Structure 1
Amino acid sequence: MCGVHGLYRLDGQRVAAETLSAMGNITQHRGPDDEGMHIDGACGIAMRRLSIIDLAGGHQPLSNQEQTLWLVCNGEIYNYRELRSELQAKGHVFKTGSDSEVLLHGYAEEGDAFVQRLNGMFDFALWDARRRRLLIGRDRIGVKPLYVLQDGQRLAFATEAKALLALPGVEPELDRSVLASYLQLGYVAAPLCIFKGMRKLPPATLLAVEDGQISEWRYWQLPTRIDTSLSEADWVARVRDQLDKSVHMQMVSDVPIGAFLSGGVDSSAVVGLMAQHSSQPIRTYAIGFEGGAAEALYNELPYARRVAELFGTQHREILVKPDVVGLLPKLLWHMDEPIADTAFITTFLVSEFARQDVKVILSGAGGDEIAAGYRRYLGGHYAARFQTLPAWLRRSASFAARHLPADRHSGLLNTLRLAKSFLASTELSPDARYASYLQVLDRQAVAQMLLSEQAGADPLQDALARVHSGDELQRMMAVDLETQLPDDILLLTDKMSMAVSLECRVPMLDHELVELMAAIPSAIKVRDGRLKHILKQSVADLLPADILDRKKRGFGTPMGAWLKRELAPLLQRLLSPEVVRTRGLFRSEAIQQLMADHAANRIDGTDALLALLNLEVWSRIYLDRRDPADVALELKSYLA
């Protein structure tokens, strides 16, 4: 695990070592244990290393015996032992015990196609000196991020965008064409990037530079064929077997390892299976919030404690009332791009807590996307039932829904919020209904908020257009795997865990498990309105019923309540008419109306307000070039 970066000079000039060093220095948090670089004329590749496997011998860049191939790789290749044995049998001589070295010899044996043999999470850069060819790539699911900058003179890449800002002549500039998409989704989806001139390499993508020509292609697609030949019992057995293999494979490490534990189905299943493969108690980590009723809704410590006791883990938990104002600038600097998902705060805090003991952590992230765990996946199920009601009753219910209060931090108001969202979508097409559940702001609200909407890509609609087969549920899940999963959940997981030099692994996203789950019929994935039915059945002998069927709660913070209470002055200052006019992006009156509607519970504007607030804090750090600590002091003064 580390951060990789590099530069290919299209103009033929030699890459300067100082340039690569500057790129690496800004991402030292990703790899505090080691650094290295290799420069061959117009190409230079480099890394910062967090030592996990082959602590003494895994220095990068790695090279073959002839020193004609050079590699830097960030992440882990979980099936490296099997691949190593196969390659050694064919005569390849390994210099190290590093898992990454199999990529080097695999490329020598099979070329670009070898990447399809890898089981892991990674981004990498490989320099083929004989062909004068640079190859960079990203894992199938997009667990590890990779940013690219390309102009007429160079192509540069880095695990974090901020490393590209260290390049000579690169100035941080907002790409206004992504603002509409950002406000709609609450994150910047690939291939878009918040910085003008940069982009994110999509998951499962390779990019090559050879003879001054740049080519890019996908090497993997989510299978679309549904297998109707197996019984539910057969699927249960297959899912359990593959999940067990994934967890066991991802426990490989030469340093202490632990697990995040929320007490939900996904993290509990991972911990339970880890316990079966370990002779020592698994180290588990959980987080809860101090405060009142809103905080209590997000406190999952009792569930985590129950699972920890069940499997005899070495459990640690932390109860926090986070200094959000002090944290935001620092965390948004690490994120590279603004985001409206409050899970980035929670993930940082629990990562920081776990890093006191371990270097590697396993997470249940991805379980909702592969096993159908989100409420929105029931939209079509309940819409069909709703359509059986008399037309007058449907019209009355939809009219009444417009006047329902909404707030996610009260049990009753959260139920009304969900009902309001559902009733507003019942007459929409399946694609439009899905988009309505996902969006932070709808297109009309975005248009009213932006001063000038520049033409830009719409990643959600582009992803929907690429998915041609499957029923409504399969379609939603496939799009989530291309958008929200890599560009929201996995991006924040990577950035927040690596901010404290912690490697986070996601066994639920082993690509073989993902492919298996994609082939299961929707009627088995979700049975009679029961989300995650097949996954729950596969671990029914492992987890008790109160954990399997507990009410879902996202891994976030009670931010909406805080914005109405202790953080209200911060919101008023950062989104004041004067600040908004000075920044020159939005109509102040639209933002003021949004704030008023949220405060009065007419809408739940948590995500929209956080998207705007975080964009302003991000702008002060990156566009105004201010130190995050200085911005934090300023924000704290607003609450004094």
Structure 2
Amino acid sequence: MCGIVGFTDSGLSAKQQEYVLNKMLTRINYRGPDETGLYIQPDCAMGNVRLSIVDLSSGQQPLCNQDGTMWIAYNGEVYNHIELREQLIKRGHRFRTSCDTEVVLHMFEEYGPDCLNQLNGQFAFSIWNEKTQTLFIARDRFGIRPLFYRQVNNQLVYASEIKCLFEHPQVDKRVNYCGLKESLIFWAPLCPNTFFDGVKELPPGHYMIYNKGQCTVHPYWKHQYAGKKFAGTIHEAAEELYGLLKSSVDLRLRADVQVAAYLSGGLDSSVTTALVKEVQPNVLNTFSIGFDELAFDESDYQNEVAAFFNTNHKSISCNNSDIAKWLTKAVYHAEAPLLRTSPIPMMLLSSLVRENNIKVVLTGEGADEMLGGYNIFKETIIRNFWARQPQSKYRPLLLKKLYPYIPQLATASPMVLKMFFGYQLDQTNSPIYSHMLRWRNGQQLASLLSEGISNELNGYDPVANLAEELAGETSGYSLLEKAQLIESRLFMSGYLLSSQGDRVAMANSVEGRYPFLDHRVAEFCASLPDHYKLNGLNEKVLLKVMMKDQLPQSVIKRPKQAYRAPVAQSLLNDKALLDEFVSPYALKDSGLFNPRKIEALLTKLNRSNISEQDNMALIGVLSSQILHKQFISAYQEIDERNLLKGDIKNKQIVIR
């Protein structure tokens, strides 16, 4: 895994280009602490910091093709590179290294953009063609690896992380008010928007072609549910899914370094662990995070699964003070507002992995999205069932089973449940029916924005826009499929794989790999009938059938427990943190939020029972304020003594 940066048509001298590349790469040296490399020519400059995982001795980047006319800067892993290499050799290609980077370059040389359909992996890369003076940039299907860009005066500046872009002399730093509002509603900006004005994210499953100041973005893959449906029995489906997942795990164990696994104690990570042990029966290192607060802790289940598979297990515990202590660092790496504190424990967990000299971990992300695991899917089905008899006193009581961790719902009456869950109950045909309630709560958070920003936004309604955008695409989808599409396309890509995934793992130079997000697995799961995924209130039915004899029954039968971390109390106890970022002075400095409303929020948090909505409001406001200070009002320039220069043991510079 690596980090990449680059820019075109800068008008800078070679020495100036080298200086800017060094500044950009210095911001993300944690993404690639092993090596660094630069490629410089008048119309294009690119750089790379490398976390060496495949072909440790060679594969240094940027890397060129046989005749030196194409150059690649690459971040990621293409797991089927061995098979693709053999295919290319038969077509006359010759290789100098054993790394997958060179395979990707030759695949592009042979097939052009169509090569992306043959790559099985997680990646973001750029290829410069010296002959045509064309830059090609691409990102993997689900957006596991990040890639951002900014167009300025016919120049293109791009990088694995936004902070790198700000080291280019033509890129300024301003808040994108649309991206901020979207973050408060959807938990992440709507791609290609970001928190920063003018900075865009290359969407998952897309590529870009840049030539002579013109950029065009094209899709090559889309997660969808419109294809042919699986017609076999559930046991036949279980057999096919098992084969696909086993193949996916086998591919993701390809590395020249040790590979470990995260073990949460839930079904998804237990399945991943079981498959790893089957493919490679040798000793497996597993890692988990626990919490001092029992409401969040799953340590007993983690230890049970670790003992069941006889793994070499290590764990770390997170307490309330850790949440406040590491919040600013998590926000710095996420580069987006946070509506949950969950990225912080994941950052601590990846730190434990790195302390044990491991660079790669397999995780269970994607299983909930692909196989119907989230409570919001059950909530959608219950609300639809309730909508058939909206006056029923009993149907809304089913909702109590979904959120035992929300105290206000545990003893709620049908009337209270109707007030909480009855929002637009009858709009069952809406493409966003499943998420209407969640996003209404998000819109209430957006009402905390300052009057100036509200005026600038001029009634901008991202929920209505999204509903209109999805209406045509989801025609013929079931309620569950619509909900799954939203979760995988918005929440998973924008938040789960980013703020809670790549960004906090790579902060500690650790690469996550996701067997459930192999595109073959995703496409198969999309073909399944709903009742193979969610049957009544029983989630991930197919996965449980598939693993019924291979996991402890306690794991198979335990109800879904959402991964959560402490919020309000851990932050409210840190007066210094609140004074720095949400004091009247700090709020006035950023201009993001209404000081009067924030004061009322803090008063409420300190005086009454804290709701989930209050928790999200606090972390959303606080993280946005932190972002503003880190990247705009008090942006820290790089100490020139820390630039990536001769102190890097493996560095190459190619100037043409």
Q: TM-score, normalised by structure 1?
A: 0.90
Corresponding residue to 2:623 among 609, 614, 617: 614
Quote the residue 2:349 is aligned against. 350
Are residue 315 (structure 1) and residue 313 (structure 2) matched? Answer: yes
Q: Contact conserved, 1:409 with 1:558, CA < 8 A, in 2?
A: no
Greater mean deviation of Cα atoms: 228-237 or 86-95: 228-237
Quote the residue 2:23 is aligned against. 22
Partners of 2:386 and 2:436 in 1: how far apart? 17
1:316-351 per-position Cα deviation (integer Å, ceiling 9, x unaligned): 111232433331222222222222222210110000
Greater mean deviation of Cα atoms: 378-387 or 312-321: 378-387
Alpha-carbon shift at residue 69 of structure 1 (Å): 1.2
Partners of 1:595 and 1:628 in 2: how far apart? 33
Pairs within 5 Å for 1:178-193? 178-193=179-194
Alpha-carbon shift at residue 115 of structure 1 (Å): 1.1
Corresponding residue to 1:225 among 218, 224, 227: 227
Quote the residue 2:586 is aligned against. 579
CA distance change for structure 1 residues 52 and 468 in 2, over 3 Å: closer, same or farther?
same
Corresponding residue to 2:538 among 519, 526, 530: 530
CA distance change for structure 1 residues 462 and 627 in 2, over 3 Å: closer, same or farther?
farther
Partners of 2:184 and 2:575 in 1: how far apart? 21
Pairs within 5 Å for 1:458-607? 458=462, 460-461=466-467, 464-465=470-471, 466-492=473-499, 493-563=501-571, 566-567=573-574, 570-571=577-578, 574-599=581-606, 600-601=608-609, 603-604=611-612, 605-607=614-616
Partners of 1:577 and 1:587 in 2: how far apart? 10
CA distance change for structure 1 residues 445 and 527 in 2, over 3 Å: closer, same or farther?
same
Q: Contact conserved, 1:329 with 1:628, CA < 8 A, in 2?
A: no
Q: Contact conserved, 1:143 with 1:494, CA < 8 A, in 2?
A: yes
CA distance change for structure 1 residues 440 and 610 in 2, over 3 Å: closer, same or farther?
farther
1:274-296 per-position Cα deviation (integer Å, ceiling 9, x unaligned): 01111321100011122xxxx11
Quote the residue 1:118 is aligned against. 119
Which AA in structure 2 matches 1:545?
Q
Partners of 1:135 and 1:515 in 2: how far apart? 26
1:146-195 per-position Cα deviation (integer Å, ceiling 9, x unaligned): 00110114101100000001001323211223222122123223111111
Pairs within 5 Å for 1:2-401? 2-9=2-9, 16-223=17-224, 224-290=226-292, 295-321=293-319, 322-357=321-356, 358-387=358-387, 389=389, 391=391, 393=393
Q: Contact conserved, 2:286 with 2:312, CA < 8 A, in 1?
A: yes
Unaligned runs of 5+ in 1: 630-640
Q: Aligned to 1:100, what secondary structure does the other structure show? A: helix
Alpha-carbon shift at residue 412 of structure 1 (Å): 4.3
Which AA in structure 2 matches 1:491?
S
Greater mean deviation of Cα atoms: 343-352 or 278-287: 278-287
Partners of 1:72 and 1:165 in 2: how far apart? 19
Alpha-carbon shift at residue 390 of structure 1 (Å): 6.9
Aligned residues: 617
Greater mean deviation of Cα atoms: 195-204 or 450-459: 450-459
RMSD of aligned Cα (Å):
2.8
Over the matched positions of the two proteins, sequence identity in percent amounts to 28
Unaligned runs of 5+ in 2: 639-656
Partners of 1:129 and 1:432 in 2: how far apart? 46
Q: Aligned to 1:116, what secondary structure does the other structure show? A: helix
Are residue 441 (structure 1) and residue 449 (structure 2) matched? Answer: no
CA distance change for structure 1 residues 11 and 421 in 2, over 3 Å: closer, same or farther?
farther
Alpha-carbon shift at residue 21 of structure 1 (Å): 1.5
Greater mean deviation of Cα atoms: 363-372 or 113-122: 363-372
Quote the residue 1:637 is aligned against. none
Alpha-carbon shift at residue 46 of structure 1 (Å): 1.3
Partners of 2:58 and 2:355 in 1: how far apart? 25
Which AA in structure 2 matches 1:2?
C
CA distance change for structure 1 residues 346 and 227 in 2, over 3 Å: closer, same or farther?
same
Q: Aligned to 1:127, what secondary structure does the other structure show? A: strand
Q: Aligned to 2:37, what secondary structure does the other structure show? A: strand
Partners of 1:70 and 1:111 in 2: how far apart? 14
CA distance change for structure 1 residues 409 and 517 in 2, over 3 Å: closer, same or farther?
closer
Q: Aligned to 1:355, what secondary structure does the other structure show? A: helix
1:435-487 per-position Cα deviation (integer Å, ceiling 9, x unaligned): 23433834355246441323457275466344334111101111222111111
Partners of 1:349 and 1:204 in 2: how far apart? 30
Alpha-carbon shift at residue 574 of structure 1 (Å): 3.6
Which AA in structure 1 matches 2:288?
A
Q: Contact conserved, 1:408 with 1:560, CA < 8 A, in 2?
A: no
CA distance change for structure 1 residues 89 and 588 in 2, over 3 Å: closer, same or farther?
same
CA distance change for structure 1 residues 45 and 626 in 2, over 3 Å: closer, same or farther?
closer
Q: Contact conserved, 2:148 with 2:162, CA < 8 A, in 1?
A: yes
